[in-house]
Amino acid sequence: MVEKRTLIFVTLAVVVWASLASVFAGYYYLQFENSSKQLEEAQNSLSKSASSYDKATNKYNTLLGEYAELYGNYSYYTGDNYTEFLKPFKKLIDKLAENYATLLLTHEDLNKTYLELLGKYETLNQQNNVTKQEFENLLNRYYNLFSLLALKELEKAISESVKLSVNICINYSDRIEWYNETQVPAGTTLFEATKKIANITYTYYPLLEPGHILIDSINEKAAYTDPSYTCGYSWIWYYWDESNGRWVVGPVGCDAWHLRDGGIYKWNYEKWTWP
């Protein structure tokens, strides 16, 4: 009887072990399949990012070479009228628009900067005489925009495989809202992240630099200036300085501040007075 009972227990143990082994085998097989699939997707994403990065770099190097050629010719010129350089400059801005058409279409701030540059060129092109200072200013404007576009495209290439998690606070003065663990692509600016979490209106100021945008309203809470221009309310942004444990007022426009992974940011609706 004992031997029979022992045989039954052994048989049951074998059956249970075989069942568990099958379950675990199936589980680990599925895990392996999922991991393999995720790894393959990650490799494809990295390959795609590397390809995009290479294309962006090649484009940048080509346009930079053409800019350097024009800059060199301008630097060695000894005359007083720089009108002859406007024609090759127009080719530069045409190629800029052609190569970064998608970015200009999707980034209103960059497109406005481009239109400002084009307008400045057209004004100078109507003059009979263009001074060295005028053409130098035009070249500097071009280079600043070119650098921004190239940087934005390189960031886009990297962001295809890299995501950031940030925390953003909106302080309306009468209430506070937090948008924690907001997922954004690498290279995202505070302006772009704010547009993602809230309805905003803003004004573009071409002469402000770095960054050209001031926020007018967030979720219908609007900035206000008294008719006397001596006081009002504005949206001011801050970032959390972990090393010093304090909020620091944004040193540049929100469209020029790139977010970091784990960063904490805040929009404050603040009263101001002048003087």
Contact 224, 245 (CB under 8 A): no
Question: What residue spans in the chain does CATH classification 1.20.120 cover?
Answer: 53-159
pLDDT, mean over the chain: 83
Range list for CATH 2.170.130.30 in the chain: 163-273
Contact between 125 and 89 (Cβ < 8 Å): no
Distance in Å from the first CA to the final CA of the chain: 103
CB 203 within 8 A of CB 234: no
Which overall architecture, per CATH, does domain 53-159 show?
Up-down Bundle (1.20)
- Of 235, 200, 203, the C-alpha closest to 220 is 200
Phi–psi pair at 188, nearest 5 degrees: -70, 140
Confidence bin at 57 (pLDDT 50/70/90) = confident
- pLDDT above 70 for 202: yes
Q: Which CATH number fits domain 163-273: 2.170.130.30, 3.30.450.40, 3.40.47.10, 1.10.287.1080?
A: 2.170.130.30
State pLDDT tens for residues 103-130. Answer: 999 888 889 999 999 999 999 999 999 9
C-alpha dihedral over 23, 29, 32, 34, to 10 degrees? -90
| pTM for this entry | 0.55
What percent of the chain is predicted at pLDDT more than 70?
Answer: 80
- Tell me the C-alpha to C-alpha distance, in Å, between residue 220 and each of 52, 177, 250: 38, 14, 22
CA distance 123 to 35: 59
| Edge-first strand listing for the sheet containing 221-222 | 200-204, 213-218, 221-222
pLDDT tens for 15-36 read 444 444 444 444 444 444 444 4
